[in-house]
Amino acid sequence: MANHKSSKKRIRSNETKRLRNKYQHKTARNAVRTLRSLTDKKEASEMLASVTSMLDRLAKNNVIHSKKAANLKSGLQVKINNL
């Protein structure tokens, strides 16, 4: 157990950040899954912008690796181009 005031605060803030990261990561995964399941090219193209920005934000905040975000965005773009 932490003894210092700052250590206790760090534990609290880490837990808050962990839960926020978990929520954002799960939301992005669901958005990617939804986008992959779409069959209408116009609808998929519209959704791609929001999913791309979501992935970029996660990468910027180090929730996911930047190369993973790039890989996901590339794969989604290829899928939409093939619709």
Does 9 have pLDDT greater than 80? Answer: yes
The reported pLDDT for the residue numbered 60 is 97
Task: Kindly report, residue by residue over 43-78, the tens digit of the pLDDT.
Answer: 999 999 999 999 999 999 999 999 999 999 999 999
Q: What is the pLDDT of residue 2?
A: 82
Average pLDDT score over the chain = 96
**Looking at the predicted structure, is the pLDDT value of residue 1 above 80?**
no
- Tell me the chain's radius of gyration from C-alpha atoms: 17
pTM over 0.75: yes
